[in-house]
Amino acid sequence: MILDAVSRWLEREVRPHVKKLDQADEYPESMVEQMKELGLFGATIPEQYGGLGLNATTYAKVIGKIASVWMSLTGVINSHLIMSACVQRIGTDAQKEKFLAKFASGEIRGGLALTEPDAGTDLQAIRTSAKKDGDSYVINGTKMWITNGIHGSCFALLVKTDSTIEPRHKGMSMFLVEKGPGFEASRKLKKLGYNGVDSAELVFDNFRVSGDNLLGGEEGKGLQTALSGLELGRINIAARGCGLAEAALMDSLRYAQQRETMGKPIAQHQAIQLKLGEMSTRVRAAKLLTYDAAKIYDSGQRCDMEAGMAKYFASEAAVTNSMEAMRIHGGNSYSKEYNVERYFRDAPLMCIGEGTNEIQLMIIAKQMLERHPV
């Protein structure tokens, strides 16, 4: 029922407006309000807090459907739900009661604030600091490339509470921070693709936050919290890759049957059939890997390797399928009248976001070595 409702909404309210909003890099205000009504901001939040309580497998299918129409919309809920997952996993009872219902309804929207100008994949290199001052903390620093940074109001913020301790991760903590004096989104960042959704720089200048907002109520848990949230984030990215790869395939299937050369549709040329065959196989394999990772996540088991495999393969499938769609569409692929140029711009983000694919391969290799020692 949820998948059917999302599909109807996408066809009725989203698809007709994607080109205009994407090309203008315009925030989809009305669509975000409709996503609230559909309950998507509470997709994975338990029903006891007003969420839909979807398992990761159903959530991945929802994300795949949305991404196949406009990938940017998935970013609006992904970062928000990673923040929610962090609260669900280690938040205190008081933090869950205060935030989760408002997260689920979309009354409070936001995301995850990890990346900094000089720290991306190496999260232990962050410099944003939180110094304890009585019952509160004073935060200074800058975060970069934060999804929902402009339109969001609350963020799960990774900071250094102790820059001297070794190993470094023991000095890292996470806070739930709401915008206020000393905390602003300084600018919206312009991007190659992933238009519409806001990616911003966040600046903290002597921003004061209550100690009650220290996630889990204890310092030193920040990195582990962030990494646990990224398991769901990587399943989301994998699902986005599936959606983009499938969209490129379906557009190519239609175009190849309509476009004619040498007296017949190009779908009848062997060279095009080879591309369509490979594209179809990538989509199916990407979905199977994604649903496998989601199933393990739902079981409560550690799934960083499986999520990494899914994220790596599905994102690369999206990039390759978008390029093959460009080749199948020929000169028309460079026209803004066709969707494939947008797929081509959007797909590379999937290989970078939520941990680069190179890092995913290292995670996979290390896990395999641990599981199969000689």
DSSP letter, residue 114: -
Cα–Cα distance, 9 to 48 (Å, whole number) = 26
As given in the structure block, the two tokens for residue 268 are 């009848």
Q: Are 142 and 202 in contact (CB under 8 A)?
A: yes
As given in the structure block, the two tokens for residue 152 are 């969001």
Given this model, what pLDDT does residue 228 score? 80
Cα–Cα distance, 314 to 357 (Å, whole number) = 10
Q: Are 291 and 235 in contact (CB under 8 A)?
A: no
What residues contact 181, with CB distance under 8 A and at least 6 apart? 207, 208
Q: Return the domain boundaries, the chain.
A: 2-105, 110-223, 226-371
Q: Are 348 and 192 in contact (CB under 8 A)?
A: yes
Identified catalytic residue from 107, 201, 354, 358? 354
Rg (CA), the chain: 21
As given in the structure block, the two tokens for residue 181 are 């004096």
341 backbone dihedrals φ, ψ, rounded to 5°: -65, -30
What would be the CATH architecture of the domain defined by 226-371?
Answer: Up-down Bundle (1.20)
pLDDT in tens, the chain (374 residues): 999 999 999 999 999 999 999 999 999 999 999 999 999 999 999 999 999 999 999 999 999 999 999 999 999 999 999 999 999 999 999 999 999 999 999 999 999 999 999 988 888 899 999 999 999 999 999 999 999 999 999 999 999 999 999 998 899 999 999 999 999 999 999 999 999 999 999 999 999 999 999 999 999 999 988 888 888 999 999 999 999 999 999 999 999 999 999 999 999 999 999 999 999 999 999 999 999 999 999 999 989 999 999 999 999 999 999 999 999 999 999 999 999 999 999 999 999 988 899 999 999 999 999 999 99
pTM for the model: 0.94
258 backbone dihedrals φ, ψ, rounded to 5°: -100, -35
Q: Is 354 a catalytic residue?
A: yes
Given this model, what pLDDT does residue 227 score? 85
Q: Are 172 and 161 in contact (CB under 8 A)?
A: yes
Given this model, what pLDDT does residue 68 score? 98
Strand, helix or coil at 39? coil
Cα–Cα distance, 219 to 130 (Å, whole number) = 10
210 backbone dihedrals φ, ψ, rounded to 5°: -65, 145
- CATH number 3.30.990.10 is the correct assignment for the domain at 110-223: no
Count of beta carbons in the 10 Å neighbourhood of residue 270? 7
Given this model, what pLDDT does residue 123 score? 87
Given this model, what pLDDT does residue 121 score? 80
Given this model, what pLDDT does residue 229 score? 82
Given this model, what pLDDT does residue 151 score? 96
Q: Are 159 and 114 in contact (CB under 8 A)?
A: no
- The CATH code of domain 2-105 reads 1.10.540.10
Given this model, what pLDDT does residue 350 score? 97
Q: Which 3-state string (H, E, C) describes 149-206?
A: CCCCCEEEEEEECCCCCCCHHHHEEEEEEECECCEEEEEECCCCCCCCCCEEEEEEEE
Given this model, what pLDDT does residue 148 score? 96
Given this model, what pLDDT does residue 230 score? 84
